[in-house]
Amino acid sequence: MSNSPATHDIEQALKQYVAREILDGKDIGLDADTPLLEWGVINSLEIARLLGFVREQFGVVVPLESVTAEHFKDLRALTGLVASLKG
């Protein structure tokens, strides 16, 4: 995946959302490779909330078959998913 300005904007918006809404304003050194699932940063409820944010913020509906651990393991993977769906 190229790190285009649009991709960077997606990643930053996702990072800000996770820090603000899931981590109560603390980004805990959150970066593109922070293991969100492995560290328990997000769970199934948070994934559902993230999907709503992605739909509202980017106009993208993530298909059910794309809601996998691979796509939600870190911000880099989630950014790639959103960018590919925005096409």
- Give whole-number Cα distances, 41 to 6, 20, 63, in Å: 25, 12, 22
Cα distances (angstroms) measured from residue 25 to each of 15, 18, 29, 64: 11, 8, 12, 29
* Chain centre to alpha carbon of residue 59: 14
What domains, with CATH codes, occur in the chain? 5-86 (1.10.1200.10)
Q: For 28-86, what is each residue's pLDDT tens digit?
A: 889 999 999 999 999 999 999 999 999 999 999 999 999 999 999 999 999 999 999 99
Tell me, yes or no, if the pTM score tops 0.85: yes
**In the block, residue with structure tokens 């980017």:** 58
